[in-house]
Structure 1
Amino acid sequence: MNNYDKVKKSFGKQAEKFAAYHMSKVEYTDYLIGRINAEGNEHTLEVAAGTCICGRALAPYVKDVICLDLTEEMLEQGKKLAEKNHIQNISFVIGNAMKLPYDDGSFDLVITRLSLHHFTEPQKLFGEMQRVLKNGGKLVVWDMEAAAEELRESDDAIEKMRDDSHTRILSREEFVLLYQDEFDLQVKETTLVPVNLQSWMELTDTPVDIQKHIVELMTADINGGVKTGFEPYWKEGQIWFDHRWLLLIGVKK
């Protein structure tokens, strides 16, 4: 099974639960809106949009939004939520983020959230988003930041156990390098996002035996054993960890 098929299978299963998961909380989308600081006239594209969490949040602050994703089930959930909230300046497109069906310089604002670690060629994805962005437009990437170098392999291995569509989390340095030549990088901020381990595994319907193994690894880490890269901790009798979300906003030169 290639990675496109893995992504469609994984997110097809997640679709109904995804929008209610902690990663869509208003506090995070409010933070994003504030940092983007849209002017109101932006023609906007959300790439690998899923249920279009960012696009739906941004819609009142921009001219219009197109949400593009590979997985039909995710887009259907996004449509339902947009209709429920009476968002009218939004559209949903099934498409491949690696070959965006738009002309060069089509958009004022392009955004992707928690997507690059599902692509085998994240540089190519970034290049496509850069291509369809106008000069002077903003390219927003909001994604997980890799653990310390010595723990990256363990971190990625556990992410892949939980969801086999995962590929590799980029480091802060690798993200910044993507922007280096063609952008003025205006925002580079990391936010710690608390994650309940059990809910995180249940979102992807991780098999019970694999869940048990991940719990064992996390428990050993907490008790002073082999480090996982997650820095897990106990909270109210359950295991939690903090994902590192890195927000980058660059203006295309």
Structure 2
Amino acid sequence: MDFKKNVQKQFGKSADSYVTSTIHKDGKDLGKLLEMASINGEEKLLDIATGGGHTANAFAPYVKKVTAVDLTPEILAVAEKFIKGNGHQNVEFVHGDAENLPFSNEAFDMVTCRIAPHHFPNVERFIEEVHRVLKPDGQFLLDDNVVPEEDHFDQFYNTIEKWRDYSHFRAWKKSEWLRMLELAGFEIFEWHRFEKTFHFDPWCNRMNLSQDEKEKLAEYMKGASEKIKNKFRVVFEADQVNSFQGEAVVLKAIKR
């Protein structure tokens, strides 16, 4: 099974949980994305890998039209139900691949992508596609989990994410994002770092991890070095992993 089939399979069975997920629906990063955007009400916005539809839903009242695209038909269906249930009529839903977008050149004024690129096997191709579909001076608003610059921390975080979720490909370093975007023809206009607390049980359960695998993953985290535990603020209660802390970057880049 190829990697994108894995993504579709994983998100197909977890679709409803992404609409109700606290991290996805209530994150303060979503407010920051809106705050960073320059909007006059006439924009055509593309939301890539819309997931539960929270970003498309948040922007819909402020722009002319939102196009929400996702690789997984099941998750598009729940996003549509969620967004239309909130009364938004200016959102269309399109089945499509972030690395091969079914849209013409310079079709959009804005592109958003939130908590998704760590699932993309060819993130540079995704960035090229964003650049292609944006109009000159168009805005790209990106929000995703990232890893620290130190390789040991990078390896630990990507290992536990891949263990929990086989559709996870890679969370990138902040420096890697800045480099990839600038090499693709974007200027980094503004960026912010967010800390994110992951509660172990809901984090595992959202991806339907078996009890056996949850226990093995918890043992792996317990066996990590003190330096890693301190960096990721791993909290234990009664010798069980209760939570840990990751980080995300929210940034605005302009197509030049």
Q: Secondary structure at the match of 2:88?
A: coil
Give the 5 Å matches for 1:145-164.
145-147=146-148, 148-164=150-166
The answer for the alignment partner of 1:183 in structure 2 is 186
Q: What CA deviation, in whole Å up to 9, does each residue of 1:114-165 have, x standing for no partner?
A: 2221111100011111100000110111111113322212221111110111
228 and 14 in structure 1: CA distance in 2 versus 1, 3 angstrom threshold: farther
Deviation at 1:9, TM superposition (A): 0.7
Contact 2:45/2:109 (<8 A) preserved: yes
Select 2:214's aligned residue among 204, 207, 211.
Answer: 211
- The residue identity in structure 1 corresponding to 2:246 is H
Q: Where does the alignment leave 5 or more consecutive residues of structure 2 unmatched?
A: none
The answer for the alignment partner of 1:198 in structure 2 is 201
| Root-mean-square deviation (Å) | 2.0
Contact 1:217/1:228 (<8 A) preserved: no
Q: Where does the alignment leave 5 or more consecutive residues of structure 1 unmatched?
A: none
The answer for the alignment partner of 1:88 in structure 2 is 89
Residue 248 (structure 2) pairs with residue 245 (structure 1)? yes
Matched positions, count? 252
Structure 2 CA distance for aligned equivalents of residues 70 and 93 of structure 1: 9
Contact 2:29/2:250 (<8 A) preserved: no
Q: What CA deviation, in whole Å up to 9, does each residue of 1:41-74 have, x standing for no partner?
A: 1100011111221111111111110000011111
Structure 2 CA distance for aligned equivalents of residues 206 and 183 of structure 1: 38
Give the 5 Å matches for 1:61-210.
61-147=62-148, 148-181=150-183, 182-210=185-213
Contact 1:218/1:228 (<8 A) preserved: no
Contact 2:201/2:242 (<8 A) preserved: yes
Residue 227 (structure 2) pairs with residue 233 (structure 1)? no
Contact 1:67/1:91 (<8 A) preserved: yes
- The residue identity in structure 2 corresponding to 1:159 is E
Contact 2:47/2:113 (<8 A) preserved: yes
Structure 2 CA distance for aligned equivalents of residues 172 and 225 of structure 1: 20
Structure 1 CA distance for aligned equivalents of residues 113 and 103 of structure 2: 16
How does the TM-score come out when normalised to structure 2? 0.92
Structure 1 CA distance for aligned equivalents of residues 237 and 84 of structure 2: 37
59 and 226 in structure 1: CA distance in 2 versus 1, 3 angstrom threshold: closer
Q: Secondary structure at the match of 2:172?
A: coil
Identical residues among aligned pairs (%): 27
Once structures 1 and 2 are overlaid, which stretch shifts more, 69-78 or 31-40? 31-40
Structure 2 CA distance for aligned equivalents of residues 187 and 128 of structure 1: 21
226 and 252 in structure 1: CA distance in 2 versus 1, 3 angstrom threshold: closer
